[in-house]
């Protein structure tokens, strides 16, 4: 079951990362560059909606049906995209694939909660983190080789051949999971479910506008990014735990820390290759190798948190992880100065990656610990939603800032990295609030 789950997470990660390498060739081959932005924004929006739907579905009926439905959507979307003869067909396939990915990602969290003993949760989430890191190292390279030697279609068509066997490995273990007991399940009123799905649709469309707007220039970019931000401000809080905006103790802070860490890391990651290539004369390959240090350190941090003795306080690992991200990102910011050797920035980025490895699995574990059986799907979807929406927001805003001038300079890079470090620092200061308020003793 673990092998199948990790393989499935790796495939979701590979497809999310590799498609960026193939899409320029796809757009030229199908002669519809106008749909390029939608080919990325559409799947992202569909994934947001699917995460919410999967959380509702898992809590009401158990994770088996969302798992199989997600697999069907993921595979069908890949086959449709791989066989497309028109860009519109490919976009539809990408949207179906994104929807299936969203269903799968939340269902896997609920499967961990129900099928694995609690003392193994940190290890399985460490394996999930590693399953994302490996594709980030080799995915773009493999996709590039596939495009060059076999054609872009195989970036989509090769994945289902591994995805189906991976789920078949998970299938025997699914006998132990199912709907929660009615006493713990709670009431899923149709009106509330429909309202939540509606807010998810609004958040998905808003995130797509951010994604597309980040690829535009001028008035169009400002309008799309502005509409996306307003939409997220209205819709996203309705999908996250109550007290999220005020960093309420317990689950609201856990979910918020995931968003702050995601925003900080992505905001720095998108700037580093540009800074290295323009200010230090690095080739794309050399700049990519610098990012690789962060990915390897992320994997190391995940491994460490899965094997060290459980700390006394729930806040220890999140605080340590966010402190590493803060310090590491700040060091990268200092390395913008020409007088600072590049290796200093490389060490800083490795520290940030180590912090992400300590933080991410620990927040996933805390989410399950703080969730009643009938809330595991909803809360897992909230955690992943906050992660995705924070990353989309930071990417769009960073792109808009960097595109505002004719040629970004050291000041632009340093400013962006300072903001990223500030987000991580805010998370470190709030980390103690992952510990819920103690319940009053009965009279």
Give yes or no for residue 18 having a pLDDT over 80.
no
Range 150-159 average pLDDT = 80
Range 278-289 average pLDDT = 74
pLDDT above 70: percentage of residues in the chain: 88
Are 315 and 434 within 8 A, CB to CB?
yes
**Please, what is the average pLDDT of the chain?**
83
Q: What is the pLDDT of residues 364-383, one digit of tens each?
A: 999 999 988 788 888 999 99
DSSP string, 242-289: TTTTTT-TTHHHHHHHHHHHHHHHHHHHTTHHHHHHHHS---HHHHHH
The pLDDT score that the predictor gives to residue 134 is 75
Range 13-36 average pLDDT = 70
CB-neighbour burial class of residue 407 (10 A; exposed 0-12, middle 13-18, buried 19+): exposed
Range 56-77 average pLDDT = 89
The pLDDT score that the predictor gives to residue 189 is 66
Query: Can you give the length of the chain in residues?
Result: 443
If pLDDT is split at 50, 70 and 90, which confidence band does 394 have?
Answer: confident
Give the side-chain half-sphere CA count within 13 A for 179: 10
Q: What is the pLDDT of residues 233-251, one digit of tens each?
A: 998 888 898 888 888 899 9
If pLDDT is split at 50, 70 and 90, which confidence band does 431 have?
Answer: very high
The pLDDT score that the predictor gives to residue 167 is 81
Give yes or no for residue 226 having a pLDDT over 90.
no
pLDDT above 90: percentage of residues in the chain: 24
Give yes or no for residue 324 having a pLDDT over 90.
yes
Range 316-329 average pLDDT = 94
Range 49-67 average pLDDT = 89
**Chain CA centroid to CA 263, Å:** 10
Q: Look-up: residue for tokens 């990102």?
A: 329
If pLDDT is split at 50, 70 and 90, which confidence band does 179 have?
Answer: low
Q: Which domains does the chain have, with CATH numbers?
A: 243-433 (1.20.1250.20)
The pLDDT score that the predictor gives to residue 422 is 93
Closest CA relative to residue 19, chosen from 120, 134, 142: 142
If pLDDT is split at 50, 70 and 90, which confidence band does 342 have?
Answer: confident
- Using CA atoms, how far residue 300 sits from 234, 352, 393, in Å, is 38, 12, 28
Q: Look-up: residue for tokens 């990325």?
A: 40
Contacts of 198 (CB under 8 A, 6+ apart): none
- Using CA atoms, how far residue 24 sits from 30, 38, 273, 377, in Å, is 10, 13, 19, 36
Which H, E and C letters describe 277-288, residue by residue? HHHCCCCHHHHH
- Give the gyration radius of the chain's Cα atoms: 21
The pLDDT score that the predictor gives to residue 284 is 66
């Amino acid at each position: 079951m673990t092998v199948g789950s990790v393989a499935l997470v790796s495939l979701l990660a590979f497809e999310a990362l590799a498609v960026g390498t193939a899409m320029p060739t796809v757009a030229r081959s199908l002669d519809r560059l106008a749909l390029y932005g939608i080919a990325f924004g559409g799947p992202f929006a569909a994934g947001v909606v699917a995460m919410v739907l999967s959380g509702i579905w898992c809590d009401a009926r158990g994770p088996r049906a969302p798992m199989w439905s997600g697999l069907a959507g993921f595979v069908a979307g890949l086959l449709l995209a791989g066989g497309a003869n028109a860009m519109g067909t490919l976009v539809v396939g990408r949207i179906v694939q994104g929807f299936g990915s969203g269903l799968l990602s939340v269902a896997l969290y609920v499967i961990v909660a129900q099928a694995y003993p609690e003392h193994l949760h940190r290890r399985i989430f460490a394996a999930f983190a590693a399953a994302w890191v490996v594709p980030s190292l080799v995915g773009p390279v493999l996709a590039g080789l596939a495009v060059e030697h076999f054609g872009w279609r195989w970036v989509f068509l090769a994945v289902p051949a591994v995805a189906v066997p991976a789920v078949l490995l998970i299938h025997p273990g699914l006998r132990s999971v199912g709907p929660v007991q009615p006493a713990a399940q709670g009431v899923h009123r149709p009106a509330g479910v429909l309202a939540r799905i509606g807010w998810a649709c609004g958040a998905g469309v808003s995130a797509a506008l951010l994604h597309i707007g980040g690829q535009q220039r001028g008035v169009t970019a400002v309008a799309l990014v502005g509409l996306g931000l307003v939409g997220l401000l209205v819709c996203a809080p309705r999908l996250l735990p109550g007290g999220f905006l005020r960093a309420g103790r317990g689950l609201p802070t856990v979910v918020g820390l995931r968003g702050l860490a995601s925003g900080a890391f992505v905001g720095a990651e998108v700037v580093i290759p540009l800074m290295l290539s323009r200010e230090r004369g690095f080739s794309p390959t050399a700049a990519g190798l610098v990012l690789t240090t962060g990915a390897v350190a992320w994997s190391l941090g995940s491994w460490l948190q899965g094997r060290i003795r459980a700390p006394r306080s729930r806040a220890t690992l999140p605080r340590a992880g966010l402190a590493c991200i803060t310090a590491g990102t700040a060091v990268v910011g200092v390395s913008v100065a020409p007088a600072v050797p590049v290796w200093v920035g490389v060490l800083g980025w490795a520290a940030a990656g180590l912090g992400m490895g300590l933080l991410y699995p620990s927040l996933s574990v805390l989410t399950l610990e703080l969730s009643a059986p009938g809330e595991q799907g909803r809360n897992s979807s909230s955690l992943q939603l906050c992660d995705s929406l924070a990353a989309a927001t930071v990417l769009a805003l960073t792109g808009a800032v960097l595109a505002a001038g004719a040629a970004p300079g050291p000041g632009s890079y340093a400013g962006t990295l300072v903001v990223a470090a500030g987000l991580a620092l805010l998370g470190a200061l709030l980390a103690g609030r992952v510990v819920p308020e103690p319940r009053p003793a009965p009279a």
